[in-house]
Amino acid sequence: ENVLTQSPGTLSLSPGERVTLSCRASQSVRSSYLAWYQQKPGQAPRLLIYGASSRATGIPDRFSGSGSGTDFSLTISRLEPEDFAVYYCQQYGSSPKTFGQGTKVEIK
């Protein structure tokens, strides 16, 4: 099983700031099949990034993903009020398709 570790656990930031979230895999992620999801309270997760760096349909360009192998990151260039949420990475290159434990981005 490919274990994903996200860091940090929580970030306290202000609107307008830039933020980078990290996701490290215990094994290389095949074909960079790494996705990022955003989840707000009481809502289902929403796909932001797939294939490590491709934005999903309708996702603003302030969200960007990068990385390969075992190290991946999600960057939000300028935090908007609606971006405060929990972010999960997931690898889907091998079964089981594991998730990281999540990073909470909260308002400072």
Partner 1 sequence: QVQLQESGPGLVKPSGTLSLTCAVSGDSISSTNWWSWVRQPPGKGLEWIGEIYHGGNTNYNPSLTSRVTISVDQSKNQFSLKLTSVTAADTAVYYCARDHSSSSLDYWGHGTLVTVSS
Q: CA torsion sign, 35 to 40 to 46 to 49?
A: negative
| CA count, 13 A, side-chain hemisphere, 11 | 24
Q: Which DSSP helix (H) or strand (E) runs through 90?
A: strand 86-91
* Residue 16 CB, nearest approach to partner 1 (Å): 28
Stretch 18-37 residues interacting with partner 1 (CB under 8 A): 33, 35, 37
* Residue 83 CB, nearest approach to partner 1 (Å): 19
Residue 92 interacting with partner 1 (CB under 8 A):
yes
Q: Which stretch in 12-20, 48-56, 64-72, 74-82 sits in contact with partner 1 by CB under 8 A?
A: 48-56
Tokens 């990385």 found at: 67
Residue 46 interacting with partner 1 (CB under 8 A):
yes
Tokens of 72: 């991946």
| Spatial separation of the C-alpha atoms in residues 44 and 73, rounded to whole Å | 22
How many residues in the shown chain lie near partner 1 by CB under 8 A? 25
For partner 1, the binding residues (CB under 8 A) are 1, 33, 35, 37, 39, 44-47, 50-51, 54, 56-57, 88, 90, 92, 95-102
